[in-house]
Amino acid sequence: MGYWPIMTPFDAAALGRARDLAAAAARAPSDLILAWFRVAGLPVESKADGTPVTAADREAELTIRRCLRRSSEFGGLPILGEEGGQEGQVGEYRWIVDPIDGTRGFARGLPTFGTLVALEETALRRALVGVIHLPLTNETLAAARGLGATRNGQALRASSAADLRAAVVSLPDVGEFRAAGMEAAYTAVHAACDHVRGYTDCWAHALVVAGAVDALLEPALSPWDVRATEVLIAEAGGECRLRASRVAGKYDLVCGSRALVGRIAALVQFG
């Protein structure tokens, strides 16, 4: 199959169709993923970067790619997937896919995993469409620029909290901060906030989009980890800031309530 650029800029109708396709693609491997969940003896391999992968990840990504490819309108766009890499030459736009975000938890029977699909405007390195699907709860969070953010069709609003001391803030493992040279930031947030929670993976991102968690700080994320969240947070009325991580090819992320993102960014010197 050839790959072609699509008309720019996207109008609202085209963005809506791309969002709906991304949502369908993110839901497509749900039954497959759930069939593997908590299977005794699920083989877990380590990739070159030390992160885990299972047969479920690979099969789910193939299912998503097939779903995207079936689209007559957007099926010719390049696809970057965590497991299968880049398919097609990079153009103005591309799909970005993470079939099981949170494989480590998935393989241990933890419920914090999900599927991410985003449509990226490559020159600006920003998402136009983003979807998080949580198979265990059958929740699909979907957004497109200018069209708002929804969960199973119902509008979402991010938190508007401004008091960092009282806020619920999510941080992943301290080891991730240490590896990214951000251990001081981990300590600073704990000192400034009374309700730091260790929610992880796209489940934590979905909680921030929905306003259940007020803000999140996370280091060293890959493009497939952040693109869907980037547009979901913005369209839910929150703020998402990204910067190049000290870990090559990765991003550091702070997102959530606009007031808290500013507070946290200042606190941890998030330039």
Same domain, 120 and 172: no
**CATH number of the domain enclosing 187:** 3.40.190.80
Residue 104 lies in a domain: yes
CA distance 179 to 246: 9
Would the pLDDT of 4 be above 50? no
Would the pLDDT of 1 be above 90? no
Domain that holds residue 143: 12-155
Would the pLDDT of 2 be above 80? no
Helix (H) or strand (E) holding 17: helix 12-27
Same domain, 123 and 246: no
Read off the pLDDT of each residue in 3-13 and give the average, rounded to a whole number: 60
Same domain, 149 and 255: no
What per-residue confidence (pLDDT) applies to 202? 97
Would the pLDDT of 8 be above 90? no
Q: How does pLDDT run across 27-54, given as a tens digit for each residue?
A: 999 999 999 999 988 899 998 888 899 9
Residue 182 lies in a domain: yes
Same domain, 177 and 224: yes
Q: Is-contact 222 101, C-beta < 8 A?
A: no
Residue 217 lies in a domain: yes
9 upstream amide cis, omega within 30 of 0: yes
| 121 strand-pairing partners | 93, 126
Would the pLDDT of 5 be above 60? no
Same domain, 235 and 172: yes
Q: How does pLDDT run across 97-149, given as a tens digit for each residue?
A: 999 999 999 999 999 999 999 999 998 999 999 999 999 999 999 999 999 99
Tell me what percent of the residues of the chain surpass a pLDDT of 70.
Answer: 97
Same domain, 188 and 151: no
Residue 163 lies in a domain: no
Domain count across the chain? 2
Same domain, 111 and 144: yes
Residue 131 lies in a domain: yes
Sorted by sequence, the CB contacts under 8 Å of residue 255 that are 6+ apart come out as: 205, 208, 215, 216, 229, 233, 238, 239, 240, 241, 261
Residue 118 lies in a domain: yes
Same domain, 192 and 128: no
Same domain, 141 and 183: no
